[in-house]
Amino acid sequence: MSWFFEYLLFFAETVTVVVAILALLIFILSQRKKSHGAVGHLVVKDLNEIYTEMRDEMQLSSMDPLAVKRFYKDLKKQKKLEKKAAKIADKQKLTEKTPSSSTTDANSDQDNRSQSDKSHSIQSNKDRPKLFLLSFDGSMDAHEVEDLREEITAILSVIKPEDEVAIKLESPGGVVHGYGLAASQLVRFRTRNINLTALVDKVAASGGYMMACTASKIIAAPFAIVGSIGVVAQIPNFHRLLKKHDIDVELQTAGAYKRTLTMFGENTSEGRDKFKQELEETHHLFKDFVKAYRENVDIDQVATGEHWFATQAKGMNLVDEIGTSDDFILAHLESHKIISVKYVRRQKLTDKIAKNVVQGVERLFFRQNGLS
């Protein structure tokens, strides 16, 4: 019988290996299929509905059973009126597009007008202007601009002249070209005469403020940090350490200023002067950009690289109002249909880990520079 048990053991091992190989093949094929799919998708939320549900829950929590029953009865009646109002609106639009040659019935017209008047407020809620809400939580390299450009393109494809856009901004700044592109994306609204509001709850400094200043209005929480209109660059140099250990680093360039400062070679006064000149030119462009969109700002006063709390910045015209994004949204719930737009990109596990590492380094850098 020993051979039988040995055979069963061999069979079990064989089956295990085959199953493992099949599972690996299925996993590889599924990943390959995903890689050929869309890299992301839009998530659109009606914030009016979300806030209405929150309000209803708060009201219901303090009601007695009879009041709760009456509440649901009124809610059912309200939804019925909304549905009827939508039908009347559609009928009126159809009548306007298709004029009738026969004599209309006066009583019928009067009845339709009466129904239309009763549901006017409901219709106005349905047809009221939209407020599209964006969020930008920027990192050092501003890679989030890739999602932002998708969101803005989607909004521009449906937005109407009476609609508005607001963006919740949070960023301490970062690389010039990344935040330059992010600000240029927001300028797409301004060039189309679309009202844009920047909402700053925590920080919009340096490149973050470059984005904020493109808005028609900047609203910031009292202790939000804004400003830092300056340019900074630092490069470690290991030349003396390498020289001490008799290590040479040879750098060949074509062009006098292809490299100004290096990490391993010996830096020259000429290279330092050129590097400083490039920083000054970038700073000058930054100042011109801010001045173009914030004409009432004394640019020489604020473009020192300093940052301020919003209550201080308001006196310098760096922000227009003091308030939170939450209050801004609540103030527009009755007058606008508020739609949150977010482009969600599929992330690999390695990307998620790298993102967390980068965010940790940024927070440490932010804390060490006295901005926490």
Largest CA distance in the chain: 103
**Nearby residues of 33 by Cβ (< 8 Å), 6 or more positions away:** none
242, β-bridge pairs: none
258 classed as catalytic: yes
- In whole angstroms, how far apart are CA 223 and each of 124, 134, 198, 308? 37, 22, 16, 9
What's the CA gap between 361 and 367, in Å, rounded? 10
Query: Rg (Cα) of the chain, in Å, rounded?
Result: 30
> How far does the chain reach from its first CA to its final CA, in angstroms?
75
For 285, the token pair is 């462009």
42, β-bridge pairs: 343
The answer to whether 185 touches 153, Cβ cutoff 8 Å, is no
Catalytic residue among 62, 97, 258, 269: 258
Catalytic residue among 119, 206, 228, 325: 206
Pairing between strand 225-227 and 217-220?
Answer: unpaired
Return the amino acid letter for 80.
K
The answer to whether 209 touches 184, Cβ cutoff 8 Å, is no
Q: Which residue has the tokens 């700073």?
A: 283
What's the CA gap between 167 and 138, in Å, rounded? 12
What's the CA gap between 44 and 133, in Å, rounded? 10
CA-closest candidate to residue 205, choices 181, 178, 170: 170
**Nearby residues of 51 by Cβ (< 8 Å), 6 or more positions away:** 329, 330, 333
Long-range residue pairs from 285-290, CB within 8 A, at least 24 positions apart, any chain? 286/210, 286/229, 286/230, 286/231, 287/229, 289/183, 289/210, 289/213, 290/209, 290/210, 290/213, 290/229
206 classed as catalytic: yes
* Catalytic center residues: 206, 258
